[in-house]
Amino acid sequence: MSATHQLRCTTCGARIAGDAVRSDFRCPDCNGLYEVIYPWSQGWSAEKTASAEVRLPNPGGMRHLWQERKTSTMPVDQSGVWRFRELLPIVRDVERVVTLREGNTPLYEMPRSAELAGVDWLLAKHQGMNPTGSFKDTGMTAALSVAVERGFQWVACASTGNTSAAMAAYAARAGLRCIVFIPEGKIAWGKLSQSMDYGALTVQLKTDFDGCLKLLTKLVQQFPIYLLNSVNPYRLEGQKTPAMEIVEQMEWQVPEHLVVPGGNLGNSSALGKGFLEMKHLGLIQRVPKISVIQAQGANPLYRWFGDENREMKPVKAETRATAIRIGNPASWRKASRVIEETGGWCEQVNEQEIALAKAEIGAEGVGCEPASAVTLAGLKKLVAAGRVTREERVVLVLTGHTLKDPQYTIDYHKGELLTAAEIASETEAERASHAALRKPPLVLEADEAVVLRALEERMAKANAAETQATPGTSK
Ligand code: F0G
């Protein structure tokens, strides 16, 4: 077996060598998903753990090394994934990894969103600031580098758009051919255009994401195509590194709570693995509670938590947050364990709540795609239910850039996003918030007097609204 890592089935515990895995990344005995384990991981045999720990740099040494690499000019050091390579030794030759300098994303303070959610201190880890505009890049550099090392010529994924954009870019960098399967008519234009731009063979199937993944899973068993969905455990090794970045950016303090959107549930699983491994290695003393937020129309994990028989029942998914329009999440078992082990929650939010939260994040000058906004919408509910307290330091994981889905944003601001029934079910306060946030474009004659009059009107309105919102203050 490989000296650096093994794959362990997360359902039955069976272990195999990395290169012995089946093309669909499922355990032949129980159909479970694998996780990557290392000689220092919990559960690796005792005598091996002892010798491996000797080889590992001590926590202080690793922190220093990771920081120092930021100033290096080597691509592999500049990557916010491979900078942490001691925690993901999955390739033999780390200098040959395929990288677009992913990771190293900002951790923004969100004071206005904090106030709206009812917490004192809120941060946003913006994974939309990755090279292709989503968190998928951190996973793609890892798994695609493994594909290259194993000699694959073709790679493929099923996607709601972001995985395909990331895969297409990394495959192009590596000179591999790639095929993406996406649900027809249900992906945002920004993402579809990226796959085409990076030269992928794009197949739009007349089904949903779940149907695409099912079909692709059969195809990879018949052709030598490397599957790059998050059932591939190497994806999650890259996607765990934002956990390291977050604590590094907080000067090795750990937030009390991390809020993550849930679709196929790979990302929440990966971040959980990252935090739990750091604790196991003594890099941190505790882990944050990890809560997963789903769209109400695509909420199988939320339902699973509420089901006393604990049965996973796939749903027919429907939401405008198309990135998480997933009814049969592959990694639900891993994600549910992360929530339980860390003491987090699973919450759901409706379309109005998502739209409002997205506009609020945008109004803070940060912006994100709709699926990422479920985090703020979900946090409001967790606070209201007493599951997050005011003093807790919360980090929202914003998974995608606002430019991924510009149509959603334009429809929102023009007042064309929500249906009459959705608007009718809003509270007065929600309606007032929408009214204050909506900024539809003005269409005017190119005439100085006309423009001046319109601007004066707008300024007077804005001033009046501000005075009303903060009586007794002048800004
Ligand atoms: N946020 C965004 C922007 C996404 O693109 C996705 C998933 C998620 C959240 C959910 O993450 O699936 O790991 O729970 N997008 C996948 C794709 C499914 O194909 O791009 P998850």
Q: What DSSP letter does each residue of 236-263 carry, written as one string?
A: HHHHTHHHHHHHHHTTT---SEEEEE-S
User: Containing H/E element for 455?
Assistant: helix 448-469
Q: How many CA atoms are closer than 13 Å to the CA of 64, on its beta-carbon side?
A: 5
The pLDDT of residue 45 is: 72
The pLDDT of residue 185 is: 85
The amino acid occupying position 353 is E
Ligand 1 proximity of 163 Cβ (cutoff 6 Å): yes
- Cα-to-centroid distance, 80 and ligand 1 (Å): 20
Query: What is the position in ligand 1's atom list of the atom closest to the CA of 326?
Result: 18
- Cα-to-centroid distance, 46 and ligand 1 (Å): 36
Q: 14 CB contacts (<8 Å, ≥6 apart)?
A: 8, 27, 29, 30
- Cα-to-centroid distance, 231 and ligand 1 (Å): 13
Query: What is the position in ligand 1's atom list of the atom closest to the CA of 404?
Result: 3
Closest CA to 323 of 104, 159, 149: 159
CA distance 404 to 189: 7
| Residue from 160, 179, 348, 375 to probe ligand 1 pocket by mutation (most atoms less than 8 Å from CB) | 160
Model confidence over 287-306: pLDDT tens digits? 999 999 999 999 999 999 99
Q: 392 CB contacts (<8 Å, ≥6 apart)?
A: 119, 255, 256, 257
Model confidence over 22-58: pLDDT tens digits? 999 999 999 999 999 999 998 887 555 556 554 676 8
Model confidence over 139-174: pLDDT tens digits? 999 999 999 999 999 999 999 999 999 999 999 999
Query: Residues 371, 377, 290, CA angle at the centre, nearest 5°?
Result: 80
CA distance 430 to 425: 10
pTM, full prediction: 0.96
The pLDDT of residue 472 is: 53
* CA terminus-to-terminus distance, the chain: 66
Q: How many CA atoms are closer than 13 Å to the CA of 234, on its beta-carbon side?
A: 26
Domain limits, the chain:
107-132+236-437, 449-475
Could you give the strand order of the β-sheet that contains 34-37, starting from the edge strand earlier in sequence?
Answer: 15-17, 6-9, 34-37
- Cα-to-centroid distance, 372 and ligand 1 (Å): 9
- Cα-to-centroid distance, 468 and ligand 1 (Å): 40
With beta carbons less than 8 A apart as the criterion, state whether 262 and 268 touch.
yes
The pLDDT of residue 302 is: 98
The separation between CA 46 and the C-alpha centre of its own chain, rounded to angstroms, equals 34
Mark the ranges of the chain whose per-residue pLDDT is less than 50: 1, 54, 473-475
Which of helix, strand or coil describes residue 34?
Answer: strand
CA distance 300 to 186: 19
Query: What is the position in ligand 1's atom list of the atom closest to the CA of 162?
Result: 20
**Atom 11 of ligand 1: nearest residue by CA position:** 263
User: Containing H/E element for 437?
Assistant: helix 428-437
Which of helix, strand or coil describes residue 373?
Answer: helix
Q: Which CATH class is domain 107-132+236-437?
A: alpha beta
The pLDDT of residue 311 is: 94
Closest CA to 274 of 312, 236, 309, 302: 236
| Residue from 140, 267, 336, 408 to probe ligand 1 pocket by mutation (most atoms less than 8 Å from CB) | 267
